[in-house]
Structure 1
Amino acid sequence: MEIRIGIQNSPREISFETSQPAAELEAAVASALAEKTGYLKLLDSKGTTYIVPTATIAYVELGSDEARRIGFVG
C-alpha cells in the first residue's frame, strides 16, 4: 500500500510503500493526531521508520491495497 503524507509549508510530500493493512494505518494516524505524543511513527516495507511531527501534517493519503498490474490490459 502506498502512503503519502503532506507537510505544511513544504512543497514536497513523504511517499513510501508499506505492507501494513489500511485499517491499521488509519488507526495509527487517528491515534497520533488525538494523543499528545506529538508525532506519527510509520514503518515502510523496506524497514525504514518515518517519524513525522503531528503539528506539521497537512494530510495523509492511503492508497489501495490491490496490486498494480504490469503490462497491457486487453
Structure 2
Amino acid sequence: MEIKIGIQNVARELVVNADLSADEVQTKVTEALSSGAPLVLQDTKGSTTVVPSASIGYVETGQETKRKVGFTPLPLG
C-alpha cells in the first residue's frame, strides 16, 4: 500500500510503500499523534522511515491492491 505523508513546512510529501492495511496505518498514526512518539514505518524493501509526530501534516493511504502474476496466452493468427 502506498502511504503519503505530508510534513509541515516541507513542500514535498513523503511516500512509503508498505505491506500494511489501511486500518494498521491508521492505528499507527493515531498512536503516534496521541502519545507524541515518532511514526515508524517499514517499507516493502526493508527500509525504515521515522517521522516526528509533531511534524505530521496529513497521512493519505492508497488503495490496497494485490499484484497479479501470471501469463496470458497470446492470440495466434
TM-score, L = length of structure 1: 0.83
- CA shift, 1:67, in A, is 4.1
Percent of paired sites with the same residue = 44
Structure 2 residue 15 is matched with structure 1 residue 2: no
Greater Cα radius of gyration, structure 1 or 2:
2
Q: Extract unaligned runs of 5+ from structure 1.
A: 70-74
Structure 2 residue 45 is matched with structure 1 residue 46: yes
Cα distance per residue 1:25-73 (max 9 Å; x no partner): 1100001001132x1101111101000001111100011102479xxxx
Tell me how many residue pairs correspond in the alignment.
68
The equivalent residue for 2:72 is none
Letter in 2 for 1:44: D
Structure 2 residue 72 is matched with structure 1 residue 64: no
CA RMSD for the aligned pairs? 1.5
TM-score, L = length of structure 2: 0.80
Q: Extract unaligned runs of 5+ from structure 2.
A: 69-77
